[in-house]
Structure 1
Amino acid sequence: MALQRIPARTAVAVRVARGERVRVVNTHGQQVVDTWAFVDPAAEWMSMEHSRLHMGRVNPRVGDTFVTNRRRPVLTLIEDTSGGVHDTLLAACDIYRYELLGAAGHDNCTDNLHAALGELGLRAPLTPSPLNLFENAPPAADGTIVIAPPVSTPGSHVALRAELDLVIVFSACPQDMAATNGPGPRDAHFERLA
């Protein structure tokens, strides 16, 4: 399948079958892609809280499997050429974060998620914490978190394998008030692999 665009500041949702692989491309480099996977948007989704315990780490590595809130394997990281820096701690940006930053009405990943699910006729009752692909915000030894520009380079990518039939949502994060996206929000792409 050809590359499909994740437009800057918006999200796309796609149905993925068990065993199918999806590659997420950081087309221009330094673009965070908030990522969610839903088995059932009303009841079962990829959970960062459960996945961190399952993986035994906060930054996933190739071979690590994310699990759902029911502790079932849902996505496995099978390839990573991006520098291997991703975030599993930070919540998706939302209207409240931008209000605190003085930017009421700013585009945000939480609204992007729900709009993308809506395009498929689906609704989630909450916003799970996302897998923030390419986000560079590791906790320091003293426990502090500082958001730095991503280390991902243009064209670098990750590949994920679906362990269950699911809906996956990718949001090209619109954050432009912190170093989250380096020079600012830009398009990313994804493709389904044969």
Structure 2
Amino acid sequence: MTHVRRSPEEIAANRARYEEHQRKGLEFAPKALPGASPLPAPEIAPDKIVHREVIPGGWYWSTNIKKNETLRVSLDNGFSTISLVAWSAADTSERLNLPDTVKVQWTTALGQGRVIFSDMGRVMFSVTEDSSGVHDGLMGGSTSASNAAKYGEEKRNTRNNLILLATKAGLDKRDIPPALALFAPVRVDQDGAFLWKPELLRGGDYVELRAEMDMIVGFSNCPHPLDPDPVYRPNPVTVTRIAAIEPPADDLCRTATAEAVRGFENNALAAM
């Protein structure tokens, strides 16, 4: 393969174009998104609960969810990082796309007011509530190798859990997208190194994800590769499926960025 060496002038020009595009995108966005959702999480009316699942430490679970339903993922039993993947129920070749989610919103910080994109430019989830704002869309989950290096023995890991989950859904391991790690306080320093920042967690955290299309959603409850705890002890995580409510046209997630607006326009076109 021939590598093209770019001149310093070309690199500088490309960076200037990128920074101008970023500036315009950020100017469209609200000057301040909402702060962290209050703790403790408010009670959900019993008649609004479609299903509630407690995922044991080390295990996985999947569910089908309808458009405008909400998934509340909550740490009711102590800290744990839980990984999420998703596919469109109508066409499973459309799946979660974290690189685009980060790129088009100009941030790795996924919190209240942000959206999560598919690989077809459509919005899969809106983040409607979030008490922590610390979710990792960059590193992915654990593997057999990372667990062996960390714990010195084989432990249940996210990669194998997602393969099992996908197989039961009639999918192949090649269909598995990069996973979003919820409640993973990962930050990137100026040198590009990943850091684990547990002080960003508040205890008893929760996040609510509103579905913007019918989907298959999967979870794996295994420790994050950067979690410094030398003992493998993920706590159970509660996932509550909440009945659908039609959001208003001026919903924050639908209007926060130009890219989100375009994503919802793509959703509307696909529904025609």
- TM-score > 0.5, shorter chain as reference: yes
* Alignment partner of 1:63 is 2:113: yes
Deviations 1:60-88 (A, max 9, x none): 1211111111111111110012x211111
Q: Any residues of structure 2 matched to 1:67-106 within 5 Å, and which?
A: 67-81=117-131, 83-101=132-150, 103=152, 105-106=154-155
Distance verdict in 2 for CA 1:181–1:148, change over 3 Å: farther
Aligned CA-pair RMSD: 2.6
Q: In structure 1, what is the Cα distance between the partners aligned to 2:233 and 2:141?
A: 17
Contact 1:32/1:180 (<8 A) preserved: no
* Structure with the higher fraction of residues in strand conformation: 1
* Alignment partner of 1:111 is 2:160: yes
Contact 2:141/2:225 (<8 A) preserved: no
* Alignment partner of 1:139 is 2:185: no
Specify the alignment match of 1:158 in structure 2: 207
Q: In structure 2, what is the Cα distance between the partners aligned to 1:44 and 1:102?
A: 35
Specify the alignment match of 1:186 in structure 2: 235
Specify the alignment match of 2:6 in structure 1: none
Structure with larger RCO (C-alpha < 8 A, sep 6+): 1
Q: In structure 1, what is the Cα distance between the partners aligned to 2:79 and 2:225?
A: 12
Contact 1:27/1:154 (<8 A) preserved: no
When normalised by structure 2's length, the TM-score is 0.63
| AA aligned opposite 1:53 | K
Structure 2 gaps of 5+ residues are 1-48, 244-272
Secondary structure class of the residue paired with 1:44: coil
* Alignment partner of 1:23 is 2:72: yes
> Which has the higher Rg, Structure 1 or Structure 2?
2
Distance verdict in 2 for CA 1:176–1:185, change over 3 Å: farther
Contact 2:186/2:197 (<8 A) preserved: yes
Distance verdict in 2 for CA 1:124–1:150, change over 3 Å: farther
Structure 1 gaps of 5+ residues are none
Q: In structure 2, what is the Cα distance between the partners aligned to 1:112 and 1:71?
A: 27
Contact 2:85/2:176 (<8 A) preserved: no
- Aligned pair count reads 193
Deviations 1:27-71 (A, max 9, x none): 233211111111168522111111001221001121111111111
Q: In structure 2, what is the Cα distance between the partners aligned to 1:80 and 1:167?
A: 22
Q: In structure 1, what is the Cα distance between the partners aligned to 2:56 and 2:225?
A: 15
Identity of aligned residues (%): 22
When normalised by structure 1's length, the TM-score is 0.86
Distance verdict in 2 for CA 1:139–1:50, change over 3 Å: same
Secondary structure class of the residue paired with 1:161: strand
* Shift, 1:100, TM fit: 4.2
| AA aligned opposite 1:78 | T
* Shift, 1:181, TM fit: 9.7
* Structure with the higher fraction of residues in helix conformation: 2
